[in-house]
Amino acid sequence: MAGQGTSRPDASGRGTRARLDRDRVLTGALALVDREGLDALSMRRLGAELGVEAMSLYNHVPDKGAILDGLCEVMLAELGDGGVEGDWREVARVQCVRFREVGRRHPAAFSLFSTRPIGAYASARDLSEAMLAGLRDAGFDRATAIMAYRTVVRYVLGFVLAEVAVRTEGTDVGAPVSERAHPLFAEMLAVLRDDDADGLFTFGLDVLLDGLAARLGAPAAEVTPRS
């Protein structure tokens, strides 16, 4: 049927059709966004990328919003199925490192985790359920487990978005900085210009996980989870 896939030669040199399905639509969309950015993504542009009419895409995804949410799903699949040994802190640490790596591989698409949070959480329902269950098994009450999980996710998300911005914009402050008037700031700026992003990420993650671990032995604060 026309518009169901791209034409490619078989062993005899005659054209055959590569089947178009939801997975191929989403992986094609991610490749397009990786190469040209989110602004380049449209149904017409994606159809051209896949060698089909734009209308053919609606057989597999209802609209562009579904594609954007699907991109979160495709990126999360890169985290793998788990296989992390250790307690809740080690599991959280490994998954956070993996999540950051996903963001570094797909900096343009990664912003969808912040601009479309409901769709992103829906895409991560299996992972979220497993992580929340691990926190509950560790001794966190239900409300604190939810707050802890959301806080850790936001730490990684914010770190990666800032990391990408620094890589794009650079670290020059414009006006000269007086080491005499602002010695500590000047020292920090020097570190920033030769930044150890991995070290900073690990430090922040350790502080966050250590703080959560400390809450297990402290009276529970009153927390109200929000969706």
CATH number at residue 102: 1.10.357.10
45 domain residue, yes or no: yes
Write the pLDDT tens digit of every residue in 189-219. 776 667 788 999 999 999 999 999 998 875 4
Q: Tell me: do 31 and 114 sit in the same domain.
A: no
Question: What SS3 class is residue 12?
Answer: coil
Token pair listed for 147 = 């707050």
Contact 146, 154 (CB under 8 A): no
Instruction: Name the domain count of the chain.
Output: 2
Q: Tell me: do 58 and 106 sit in the same domain.
A: no
135 domain residue, yes or no: yes
Q: Tell me: do 62 and 113 sit in the same domain.
A: no
Residue 28: closest CA among 47, 10, 15, 9: 47
Q: Tell me: do 135 and 40 sit in the same domain.
A: no
Q: What's the length of the chain? A: 227
Domain residues for the domain of 151 are 82-216
Sequence-distant (≥ 6) Cβ neighbours of residue 95 within 8 angstroms: 79, 84, 127, 131
Question: What SS3 class is residue 73?
Answer: helix
Write the pLDDT tens digit of every residue in 85-105. 778 999 999 999 999 999 999
| Bigger pLDDT: 161 vs 2 | 161
Q: Where is mean pLDDT largest: 4-13, 27-36, 80-89?
A: 27-36
Question: What SS3 class is residue 189?
Answer: helix
91 domain residue, yes or no: yes
Q: Tell me: do 101 and 41 sit in the same domain.
A: no
Contact 138, 92 (CB under 8 A): no
DSSP state of 9: E
223 domain residue, yes or no: no
Contact 45, 33 (CB under 8 A): no
Q: Where are the alpha helices (DSSP H) in 12-106?
A: 22-36, 43-50, 54-57, 64-77, 88-105
| Bigger pLDDT: 8 vs 82 | 82
Global pTM reads 0.79
Rounded to whole angstroms, the Cα distance separating 174 from 162 reads 19
221 domain residue, yes or no: no
Contact 95, 84 (CB under 8 A): yes
